[in-house]
Chain A
Amino acid sequence: MKDNSIKKQYWHANLKLVAGCLIVWFTVSFGFGIILLEPLNQIRFFGFELGFWFAQQGSIICFIGLIFFYAWRMNHLDKKYGLEED
């Protein structure tokens, strides 16, 4: 029974982490690169209009960072709840 409640907590923590990451995922691509394109394009970022930069480069860089962040946090959660593989 105790084993089950640990797994429940672990799964809950996982869902929270996933939800947070997906919010970032949505914001940098659909948010900054598409919906907020026009207002962000008023802002200069080096030689780019910021919205355009997010659509063609920024979002990809964020995606890469996001996956490594998730992997790092998840592996940490595995250990915290004692569920890591041997």
Chain B
Amino acid sequence: MELKTLTYLVVGASFVLYVGIAIWSKAADTKDFYVAGGGVHPLANGMATAADWMSAASFISMAGLIAFIGYDGSVYLMGWTGGYVLLALLLAPYLRKFGKFTVPEFIGERYYSRTARIVAVICLIVISFTYVAGQMRGVGIVFSRFLEVPIGLGLVFGMGIVFVYAVLGGMKGITYTQIAQYCVLIFAYTVPAIFIALQITGSAIPQFAFGSPVQGDSMYLLEKLDQVVTALGFAAYTDGTKSTFDIFCIAAALMFGTAGLPHVLVRFFTVPKVRDARYSAGWALFFIGLLYLTAPAVGSMARLNLTQTIQTGTVGTETGNLAYEQRPEWFRTWEATGLLQFNDRNGDGRIQYYNDQNPDFASQAESFGWNGNELTVDPDIIVLANPEIALLPNWVIALVAAGGIAAALSTAAGLLLVISAAISHDLLKGVLMPHISERKELLAGRISAAIAIVIAGFLGYYPPAFVAQVVAFAFGLAGASLFPPILLGIFSKRVNKEGAIAGMITGLVFTYGYIEYFKGLFLPWAGAPWAENVAENWLFGISPEGIGVVGAFLNFGVTIIVSQMTAKPPIEVGELVEHIRSPR
């Protein structure tokens, strides 16, 4: 069957499945809508959390990113999984014991303050919209590449599907669709990885193939890769180019950010018991690990595959490079999307792919008659093009398209839900209209979810500059603003509302300011960015991606100091803390 028809069928079938589940699990009351009735099995919740967590970025971009930056890509692997340890040990069980619906609600009650609750709502909305716009963009890209519809139309489809199951089903609908989406995405990710592992190393398990010898060669995959890329002037795959301290900060910022992301935290409100929350975090990381342990293997094998496709013979010999006329079929397909570009700088009709930014390699390249790198590869195509590169059947390609959409939709739905809960539960019920009836609150939740979907769609279609900075922005802000007050609220009885509010604002303003200063997100009219984004200009050599960790420590420091200088929290707060610390 033709690829396009097949893709329509597979993606269409997955949509029918999601909508079917949504109708079956319609939310009846606010408890269903916000926390799926609080009755989700820990294993099921773990799987839903994994789908919620793994976004278009994890599915589509991460392996490609690692492929091109090698060791430096470890920050994503460690950062986006290590945060779950903090979540499981420091936050999840206590938030479950607290037993309400939202993260701002916890902050509002623990710090006995509406102001604190509103600050938390603002942080949550900024973080979640940044993140959700990126997901909608991912949906649009997959649609336009595989289904050949315009990005705008793809977005409308994606929004429509999310609308059905998020607005109707609330958290309950989302949870059960996410379980289905996890199955689709992990299957779609693993199948091509297995085939590529077989082709390159003869081992069927990608995680082992990563550490196996290359077929028909005495060298291990990673040794071979180091040799092949350094011969072209690139940094060795197993070495980084970033400073150790910056790597340290980025990994820490991603971990704190993961533990502070509201759409992940809220998942632990949905299990029946405290002990379920503990195991559920373990299951979540287990299911995430299945993809995260495959990704670095896929990245390394794809990099080797790509480099050897272009550099077919000895570096520097006349026939050592692939002739453009002989490029493979997948090369042509992806050239058409503009994500893969060839520019014959020296006019020899062959493709030279090397590091032309490396001064030590320049004279060598010149002696070969090379006139600059001729191939630009968008890292995003690595995962999407993998099945084509490995010559897999069309149904696998169709499956990857469905997997990418599943990853983006599941995350988008989770984010939209926390946005709508923050508006209907925290702002309306909590602050503006405390006497609103449950039925009206549920209706308000549905309406705000619908509005949030439309805004997210627009942000996906006209992506503002900040959307491309999800890593720095969403994670930096989550780690610097929400993580510290939740953690201190559980582990210290002394911190009070003055401290928490001052701390959150400090963390938020400092982190946002630093990113704006180097990247220029919202204030280009005022002259931002104000400094070039290079290591020499950074504070202590910390990149904007890693600055969230400084913001978090400032937040901790300010909260503790201001709390010491102001009055103790009231006695009921001490009792609340005692209450959440004990499972009974």
Q: Name A's B-contacting residues (CB within 8 A).
A: 7, 10-11, 14, 18, 21-22, 25, 29-30, 33-35, 37, 41, 45-49, 52-53, 55-57, 59-61, 63-64, 66-68, 70-71, 74-75, 78, 82-86
Chain A: minimal CB distance from B374 (Å): 30
Contact call A60/B292, Cβ cutoff below 8 A: yes
Contact call A21/B89, Cβ cutoff below 8 A: yes
Q: Determine whether B251 belongs to the interface, using a CB cutoff of 8 Å to chain A.
A: yes
Chain A: minimal CB distance from B154 (Å): 33
Interface of chain B, helix or strand or loop or mixed? Answer: helix
Q: Choose one: A7, A10, A11, A33; the contact of B74 (CB below 8 Å).
A: A33
Contact call A7/B582, Cβ cutoff below 8 A: yes
- Contact digits for B278-289, partner A, Cβ 8 Å, 1 yes 0 no: 110110011001
- Contact sample, A vs B, 26 pairs, CB 8 Å cutoff: A7-B582, A21-B85, A21-B89, A30-B248, A33-B78, A34-B251, A37-B71, A49-B222, A52-B74, A60-B77, A60-B81, A63-B84, A63-B85, A64-B285, A67-B89, A67-B278, A67-B282, A68-B279, A70-B89, A70-B278, A71-B275, A74-B93, A75-B278, A83-B582, A83-B584, A85-B584
Q: Choose one: A10, A60, A67; the contact of B293 (CB below 8 Å).
A: A60
Chain A: minimal CB distance from B45 (Å): 13
Contact call A74/B278, Cβ cutoff below 8 A: yes
- Contact digits for B221-264, partner A, Cβ 8 Å, 1 yes 0 no: 11100000000000000100000100110011000000000000
Q: Determine whether B131 belongs to the interface, using a CB cutoff of 8 Å to chain A.
A: no
| B residues less than 8 Å from A66 (CB atoms) | 85
Chain A residue at smallest Cβ distance from B83 = A63
Contact call A47/B275, Cβ cutoff below 8 A: no
Docked pose: A37 CA to B220 CA in angstroms: 19
A-B contact count (CB 8 A): 138
Q: Determine whether B82 belongs to the interface, using a CB cutoff of 8 Å to chain A.
A: yes
Q: Choose one: B213, B252, B285, B578; the contact of A7 (CB below 8 Å).
A: B578
* CB under 8 Å from chain A, chain B span 193-226: 207, 210-213, 220-223
New A-B contacts (7) at CB < 8 Å, excluding given A30-B252, A70-B88: A25-B82, A30-B248, A64-B289, A67-B89, A71-B275, A71-B278, A74-B275
Q: Determine whether B581 belongs to the interface, using a CB cutoff of 8 Å to chain A.
A: yes
Chain A residue at smallest Cβ distance from B220 = A47
Docked pose: A57 CA to B220 CA in angstroms: 17
Chain B: minimal CB distance from A16 (Å): 12
Chain B residue at smallest Cβ distance from A19 = B89
Q: Choose one: A25, A37, A45, A56; the contact of B244 (CB below 8 Å).
A: A37
Contact call A56/B81, Cβ cutoff below 8 A: no
Contact call A55/B71, Cβ cutoff below 8 A: yes
Contact call B88/A59, Cβ cutoff below 8 A: no
Most buried by B among A30, A33, A59, A63: A63
Contact call A52/B78, Cβ cutoff below 8 A: no
Chain A residue at smallest Cβ distance from B77 = A56
Contact call A47/B223, Cβ cutoff below 8 A: yes
Chain B: minimal CB distance from A81 (Å): 9
Chain B residue at smallest Cβ distance from A14 = B581
| A residues less than 8 Å from B213 (CB atoms) | 47
Q: Determine whether B583 belongs to the interface, using a CB cutoff of 8 Å to chain A.
A: yes
Chain A residue at smallest Cβ distance from B284 = A67
Chain B residue at smallest Cβ distance from A86 = B584
| B residues less than 8 Å from A74 (CB atoms) | 93, 275, 278
Docked pose: A84 CA to B582 CA in angstroms: 9
| B residues less than 8 Å from A56 (CB atoms) | 66, 71, 73-74, 77, 210, 296
| A residues less than 8 Å from B220 (CB atoms) | 46-48
Docked pose: A55 CA to B74 CA in angstroms: 6
Chain A residue at smallest Cβ distance from B219 = A47
Docked pose: A33 CA to B73 CA in angstroms: 12
Q: Determine whether B273 belongs to the interface, using a CB cutoff of 8 Å to chain A.
A: yes
Contact call A57/B210, Cβ cutoff below 8 A: yes
Most buried by A among B73, B89, B211: B89
Contact call A22/B292, Cβ cutoff below 8 A: no
Q: Determine whether B184 belongs to the interface, using a CB cutoff of 8 Å to chain A.
A: no
Chain B residue at smallest Cβ distance from A15 = B491
Q: Determine whether B274 belongs to the interface, using a CB cutoff of 8 Å to chain A.
A: yes
| A residues less than 8 Å from B281 (CB atoms) | 67, 71
Chain B residue at smallest Cβ distance from A57 = B293
Chain A: minimal CB distance from B553 (Å): 15
